[in-house]
Structure 1
């Protein structure tokens, strides 16, 4: 029996390894938008900061965020061949869908790129897409997705890789899950005390599907 009616997934850093690709275009993005230089050490340090602290560190005014987001979305759509799903995500999505759990993807990335990276077969397993979300606007989208799915926050699990994903889950009242393989470091995620922390995709199935079969599959993955 499934523990949740709905699981809301973030995309970048949760389902897909966008960070590896983004590092290849970071220098160009920085130059285009007049940001201070970001070397490897500084980029790594930013992973240990919440979003607003990152904005302060780089001197990014709030009005510039939509322009940055649109630029990155456009670049992602043009480079979908360079963005790949994390190992185990394909199996996870199929397992959850086959168990009758509704799945949603809520992302600040564009739907074109999200669908292209997932591929047609996996997209058929996703019940709801809500893409192009504002950097700090996920909570309101979570509420809409939960209503469309016909369930309630307490029967919904949010899975993301950043502090803002945990914040959105808390604001919405759904279960806040975090993965340690994305953008934010384990340390900063732990500091937010998510309801559940996942170390690999198979752990999400083991947690969400409350039966012996899912536990066995998680151990074998």
Structure 2
């Protein structure tokens, strides 16, 4: 049995859906104007999309004027319900907020490079590991069971 960060084997892997398991960026952009109108935040024009990909989630949320969500509550609830310590879990996502939320709970963090955020902004947030391909996830999890 291999042990990862914190000296504990993995017992749970949590995946962010949007951008990690599903390429939903185009869909989001197709409804962003409607959401901005409905929830009173700044609209995104096509010229801003590339610039926003190089910002952290917090910077994007601030730029758009959106109130911050409390994502760590979801992770804490899931871990408690399953009886798994945070050090035994890995949260995998494609945005800096995924890294921030996992860290706040005490979980290990993995970032995928095929989702929303750029490699540079993800590296700046220092996830425990980066995944360039889905096969990289299999290798990491297999080595940390």
For this structure pair, what is the TM-score category when the shorter chain's length is used for normalisation?
A: 0.7 to 0.9
Larger radius of gyration: 1
Partner of 2:6: none
The one of 8, 14, 39 equivalent to 2:14 is 8
Contact 2:86 2:106 in 1 (8 A): yes
* 2:59 is the alignment partner of 1:150: no
**Preserved contact between residue 169 and residue 176 of structure 1 (Cα < 8 Å):** yes
Is the aligned partner of 1:206 residue 2:109?
Answer: no
In the aligned structure 1, how far is the partner of 2:35 from the partner of 2:50?
Answer: 17
**Runs of 4 or more off by more than 3 Å in structure 1?**
27-37
Q: Displacement, 1:38?
A: 2.5
Question: What runs of 5+ residues in structure 1 fail to find an aligned partner?
Answer: 63-134, 212-221
Written as runs of structure 1 = structure 2, the 5 A alignment for 1:130-145 is 136-145=69-78
Is the Cα contact below 8 Å between 1:6 and 1:149 reproduced in 2? Answer: no
Question: 1:162: how far off?
Answer: 0.9
Shift of 1:25: 2.5
Compared CA separation, residues 155 and 195, structure 1 to 2 (3 A) = same
Matched, 1:25 2:31: yes
Cα deviation for residue 164 of structure 1 reads 1.0
Corresponding residue number in structure 1 for 2:46: 40
Match of 2:55 in 1: 49
**TM-score scaled by length of structure 1:** 0.56
Counterpart check, 1:174 vs 2:104: no
* 1:196 is aligned to 2:143: no
Q: What is the distance in 2 between the residues matched to 1:205 and 1:151?
A: 20
Pairwise CA RMSD of aligned residues? 2.2
CA distance 1:23–1:61, change in 2 (3 Å): closer
Mapped contact 2:32–2:43 kept (Cα < 8 A): no
SS at match of 2:126: coil
Number of residue pairs matched by the alignment = 138
2:13 is paired with a residue of what secondary structure? strand
Whether the aligned pair in 2 keeps the contact of 1:161 and 1:182 (CA below 8 Å) is: yes
Deviation by residue 1:19-42 (Cα, 9 ceiling, x = unmatched): 122122334434555554522220
- Residues 95-122 of structure 1, C-alpha deviations (whole Å, 9 max, x = no match): xxxxxxxxxxxxxxxxxxxxxxxxxxxx
Q: What is the TM-score when the length of structure 2 is the normalising length?
A: 0.82
